Structure 1
Amino acid sequence: MDIRLIKFLRKPKFFGTSDIKLWHHFLFWSIYFIFNTFRWTFIHDDFLLSLRTNLIGFPIHMFLAYLNAYYLMPKFIYRKKYVQYTIFIFLSLFIMLLVKFNLTYFLVSTDVMPEGPEVISTLTIGYAVQTMIGEVYVISFFTAIKLTIDWLRESSKLHDLEKRQLKTELRFLRSQVSPHFFFNTLNNIYSLTLEKSDQAPEVILKLSELMRYLLYATKKQRQDLTSEINCIRNYIDLERIRFDDSLKIDMNISGDLMNCKIPPMLLIPFIENCFKHGANKNIGEMKIVIDIHVDNDYMDFKVSNSIPLVNKEYVYPVKRGGIGLSNVKKRLELGYGKNDYDLKIFEENKMFNVFLKLKVV
């Protein structure tokens, strides 16, 4: 026997591969042995003959099964060496055929195939073919069970890995929002302090509310929709300070918002882009319309902003390095099924529009 196979069989992990314990192997072969013994007992009408035959045959079954599943397949099939595998498996079957024939002949009966129509006391082609087919059946049955267990184990590992990766990526995407949002808000406070504006305390208060929301809400996978709307309102109030009457904001909320959940900071990037790519670049009257309506477990969110007059080549998505739209798309893909949301971005009547239909319960 190949010395590498001997070393492999000696390793403790041999019976622990694919989360299969030693007692699993013992139970499998015990049940199979008992079943086969009684099956051949009814065929031969001789329990002792069946018992002795199986005591000789089963060690051979087990050796070939383990040799194929744990050595030949990993060494040849998994490496796509099919010719070498075929040669070795037939060589193994032939050697085991000789061993079984001689053990049966000298220890059990000179009739090595008592179930046959005639007495067989020599190594015939018919005996060889039937015996090898029987061994192939046992090998295939055992290998199929092992491959199934391996596949289930790998599928479970892959599923767990995908879940951990999903949670990690979602946490990362949510954490991206906070620094970006605070950067803009702190700029607003800085401008007010330079002007010694009386609005500074109110702005700081609103910022503290936003900080409280971000510190606690973003740790959750879902947050109350009402909390998210309050966050939007605070954000709008903070941004409104930088603009005069030229900025018109119309926010409409309707429907039953109770028990509605939404990923935290999901809608803020859309609102933020209206100011960053609309109000900041617009000359003349600027209009932002925000509509939020909940009906039949779904939220319809629509935000529209005027197309900037000074930049005819305006493109809605945020500039390179920003998080905005790409972040939201990624979060929706990771956190929802395809039928749970619908995101559309389009231009209509000199307005850029974002429409998001999202399952909120």
Structure 2
Amino acid sequence: MTPAYVALESGHVLEGRGRAPGTARGELVFTTAYTGYEESLTDPSYEEQVLTFSYPLIGNYGVRDERFESDRVHPRAVLARELTDDVADWLAEEGVPAVDHLDTRDVVTDVREGGAMKCGIAVGEHATPDDARAELERCVAMSDHTEIGEQVSVSEPAVYGAENDGPTVALIDCGVKGSIVDSLVDRDATVHVLPHDTTPAEVEAIDPDVLFVSNGPGDPKNYDEAVSLVREFVDDTPVAGICLGQQIVARALGGTTEKMAFGHRGVNQPVLDLESGRVVMTTQNHGYTVADPGDHLEVSQVNVNDDTPEGLDGTEYDVLTRQYHPEANPGPEDTLDFFDDVLEMAPSRSRRPRAIPADD
């Protein structure tokens, strides 16, 4: 059996079976999803993290690239109770260390009790616990990854659905999942996918009907350019956002964000719509949340488990955001109508000249 070690910030060193060799470090998180492992592993929101699957067997229906959400695996390493050979071989080809034969119940309990924590991974014939500890010592906090947007965003603009006749969407790519773009294109939108640090002039040249801020990894405080874009356009262009995008929009409109203890990750997060009283099941992947939406946004949906904001609506602007992933890849399809609601904002935009508060 190939040696494999996981050194945790709590001081524990776990020993498991090495399935894909290498060393790695990152923020240790877990997902409760029992399907959709291909989508989860290719979700850019897992950049700089070590992903633990709480479900005991991962890989029981193989690996198919048509399910991928991006062009690579994003977690720095993967932990599981058991990985099938298909998944282990895929991770090895991607150069992503993988460890199984772990008691993932204990790992999840540690994260739930101690919060998301730094960890170091060492896998290989000559790996030692000290190798894992050395990786842990080099690990930095998620908020210190100030350039994380560059790691996951497109470097050049791209256009999808150019032949469509519907609204034009300027999508700010902070780590967008492919199925989010597909969800808009399938509804007849033309989607311009733009780098996370796109300038106002570049967006203005597109003259979009909707400005859309995507999901992505890391601390929303490290996406100043995206925050500035929202503030620049919100008074005359409808604005939408998913996950990190909700947090960026909130910060642009005077709200605040904060890091959660261990975040929401999985396909079974219940969300309550405050107006209708309806509860839907959602897919989520985030470690930060909106602490205070400010004066220009109101909370329209909340997480049933902890009351954190799951949806924000503009009180004076055309703004619609969701903290969860409504594109449902993986996950339930309860919230696909979000994309219809976003595109319905396009024809009704009107200018509302109002000063937007700067960050404190």
Q: Which has the higher strand share?
A: 2
Larger RCO: Structure 1 or Structure 2 (Cα < 8 Å, ≥ 6 residues apart)? 2
Q: Which has the higher helix share?
A: 1
The higher radius of gyration belongs to: 1
**TM-score category by the smaller chain?**
under 0.3
TM-score, scaled relative to structure 2: 0.21
